[in-house]
Amino acid sequence: MELTREQQDMLNGFYGKGTAMAMKIQYAIGECFNAKRMIPITRAHIALSNQESDLWFAEKMVALGAKCKIRATTNPGFCISYFQNKNLVSHEDAAFMQRTHDAHQKLGVVLSYNCTPYMGTNIPYFGEIVAFSESSATPYVNAVWGARSNRESAQSAMCAAIIGCVPEYGLLLPENRLGDILVEVQADMSSDFAFNLLGYMGKKIGHGIPVFVGLPNYITPEQHRNLCAELNTSGSYAMYHIPGVTPEAPTLQDALGGKEPKRRVTITQEDFDRVLQEEISDAGNRAIDFALFGCPHCSLDEVIQIAELIQGQKLAVPLWMMTSAYTKDTARKMGYLQQLQDAGADLVEDTCSDQPCWHFLKNKVGVTDSPKCAYYPRKRGLEFVIRDIPTCVDAALKGWVI
């Protein structure tokens, strides 16, 4: 792989041990994929998950003196002050999160703690070369914004941010960005929830880059977000096309590069019903203990939607919405935070569902609209019935889900 003089100096340790380590890792990735060169990036996002491997690697890079050349945004861990003030998290877990915070702060990372940077805090331009980890972020920046990113890990994205470049392979090359699976959707796609279910069709769609036809002409940011998140819960996808909607697919022919698809798949309403009833959701018609939204983080529109659904009422069970600090602050200014809290709900900033801060809900049953939200916390002993937002809110008001 050819390196510029500056890149070679990074590899040789001229810019310090941390930069050398980051370049060594990126160089090795490039060799694995037969990349011919390294190319500069302008943005990065680190899928911080506040787990042992994240902290080990971040503290190792701090000890080696690394600093971000490109200031990457970060995924959430959990909001220490929120859960400590309510005595909901152990001292050990809070201390671990604090170490994660401190390490990333020393690296010069933007501590946005938001898993939807592509909707507000870190939006790339069309054609921009970036390094995004996070299961919903990589397909979103590729498909919706037309930027170029491979499906990075938290560690490789951090290395890219430190050295400011990535090996050129995969989706950074135009010929690898063409769709090769034609997915005809024959289902009701009028709700945001339907895009969660469409995303969970990864097993049926199979490996490749799907091209979806049969979808509405206008798709909301939340619908794109839901599709991206669930495609990577049910499978492994870094990109998709929707002719006439996503920027690299003005037509079906453009999406497929003028070629025939290697596979054709039809998704029906019966597929949605089957996966919901048989695969991803616990059975309904039961009492519930809580409601949890925001995996990925709730948008302001969703905060407003839920606030209006419960306005003037009292919830039978607690309801939490995970969101960015920016969204929470905006909701506070608009009066929606107080409206939610008056009903017994709350907004939790900087927090992910796959965190030890939710241990107090172990062995309890909740409702959520997100299959991803239900998937990850199951290993922590949380159970979920998955329904659309209005049904979940109704369940939280009654303490019972249909």
Claim to verify: residue 235 and residue 298 sit in the same structural domain: no
The pLDDT value recorded for residue 376 is 87
pLDDT tens per residue, range 162-201: 999 999 999 999 999 999 999 999 999 999 999 999 999 9
Residue 396 has pLDDT above 90, yes or no: yes
Tell me what percent of the residues of the chain surpass a pLDDT of 70.
100
Claim to verify: residue 165 and residue 24 sit in the same structural domain: yes
- Residue at which a domain ends, from 236, 252, 278: 278
- Region at 260 (left for phi over 0; alpha for psi -120 to 50; beta for the rest): beta
* Averaged pLDDT of the chain: 97
Residue 238 has pLDDT above 90, yes or no: yes
The pLDDT value recorded for residue 45 is 98
Claim to verify: residue 78 and residue 22 sit in the same structural domain: yes
Residue 89 has pLDDT above 90, yes or no: yes
Residue 42 has pLDDT above 90, yes or no: yes
Claim to verify: residue 274 and residue 285 sit in the same structural domain: no
- Whole-prediction pTM value? 0.97
Claim to verify: residue 19 and residue 142 sit in the same structural domain: yes
* 21-54 burial code (b ≥16 CB/10 A, e <16): bbbebbbebbeeeebeebeebebbbbbbbbeeeb
The pLDDT value recorded for residue 64 is 98
Rounded distance between C-alpha atoms, residue 245 and residue 243, angstroms: 5
- Give how many domains the chain has, as a whole number: 3
Residue 377 has pLDDT above 90, yes or no: no
Claim to verify: residue 249 and residue 298 sit in the same structural domain: no
The pLDDT value recorded for residue 378 is 86
Claim to verify: residue 260 and residue 330 sit in the same structural domain: no
- Residue at which a domain ends, from 133, 158, 174: 174
pLDDT tens per residue, range 303-356: 999 999 999 999 999 999 999 999 999 999 999 999 999 999 999 999 999 999
Claim to verify: residue 288 and residue 395 sit in the same structural domain: yes
Domain with residue 49: its CATH number is: 3.30.499.10
Give 231's contacts (C-beta < 8 A, 6+ positions apart).
139, 199, 202, 210, 237, 240
Claim to verify: residue 169 and residue 22 sit in the same structural domain: yes
Residue 39 has pLDDT above 90, yes or no: yes
User: What average pLDDT does range 103-115 have in this prediction?
Assistant: 98
The pLDDT value recorded for residue 185 is 98
pLDDT tens per residue, range 48-69: 989 999 999 999 999 999 999 9
Claim to verify: residue 208 and residue 351 sit in the same structural domain: no
Claim to verify: residue 147 and residue 227 sit in the same structural domain: no
Claim to verify: residue 14 and residue 130 sit in the same structural domain: yes
Residue 379 has pLDDT above 90, yes or no: no
In the chain, what is the greatest distance between 2 CA atoms, to the nearest angstrom? 66
Query: Using N-to-C axis directions, what is the helix angle for 52-63 and 91-107, rounded to 10°?
Result: 40
- Residue at which a domain ends, from 174, 200, 215: 174
Least confident piece of the model among 122-126, 155-159, 379-383? 379-383
The whole domain housing 301 covers 281-401
